[in-house]
Amino acid sequence: MSSEVDAISFRRACSRFATGITIATVLDPEGVPQGFTANSFTSVSADPALVLICVDRRANVLPHFKAAGHFAINVLRVEQKELSMRFAARGQDRFLEVDWRPGTGGVPLLAGALAQFECERREVWEAGDHLVFLGGVVAVRYDDGAPLLYYASGYRELGTE
């Protein structure tokens, strides 16, 4: 037995789940860095180390993720809210004047990220209005600090409402 849930109610209910904010990055076929802000990221397995990221079918970066063999997940710290908003906006060069260095397969690793996962794409699944990318983690970096959070459709900090 299935029940229909409207998209607005579904999104509002999902917004009650606090998440960290990431920027998923990839190099396009011409070697140009591409990326977008995502909170649909999760660890899947520790042995082997696997993570997944979900990319909206309407996202301009989707063809680049589909073509790339590697991608990176950059977990943002609280001080990187402006970077998150920049990579969520359309119609601009998101990497203009952004400090980054190449990782495995050239994937862009953003300076100052709280944690980074360099991934080799393993599988891609269609899932409704998104594609799910499973990545085998080939390298990680992490640092101490406070994460940038998202809750109830807004940015949050630990210890705040």
157 part of a folded domain: no
106 part of a folded domain: yes
**Cα–Cα distance list, 80 to 7, 21, 87, 120 (Å):** 29, 10, 11, 25
16 part of a folded domain: no
Give the mean model confidence (pLDDT) for residues 60-73: 96
2 part of a folded domain: no
pLDDT of residue 19: 86
Query: What CATH number does the domain containing 49 carry?
Result: 2.30.110.10
7 part of a folded domain: no
**Residue 1 pLDDT exceeds 50:** no
94 part of a folded domain: yes
Q: What percent of the chain has pLDDT over 90?
A: 76
Domain count, the chain: 1
- What range defines the domain where residue 89 resides? 21-151
**Residue 132 pLDDT exceeds 90:** yes
101 part of a folded domain: yes
pLDDT of residue 39: 86
- Please state the pTM of the whole predicted model: 0.91
**Cα–Cα distance list, 118 to 39, 44, 62, 71 (Å):** 17, 15, 18, 6
pLDDT of residue 2: 55
Q: Read off the pLDDT of residues 4-45 as tens digits, 9 standing for 90 and up.
A: 888 888 888 877 877 899 999 999 999 999 999 998 899 999
**Residue 54 pLDDT exceeds 60:** yes
3-state helix, strand, coil in the chain (%, to 5): 15, 45, 35
Which residues are bridge partners to 36 per DSSP?
A: 24
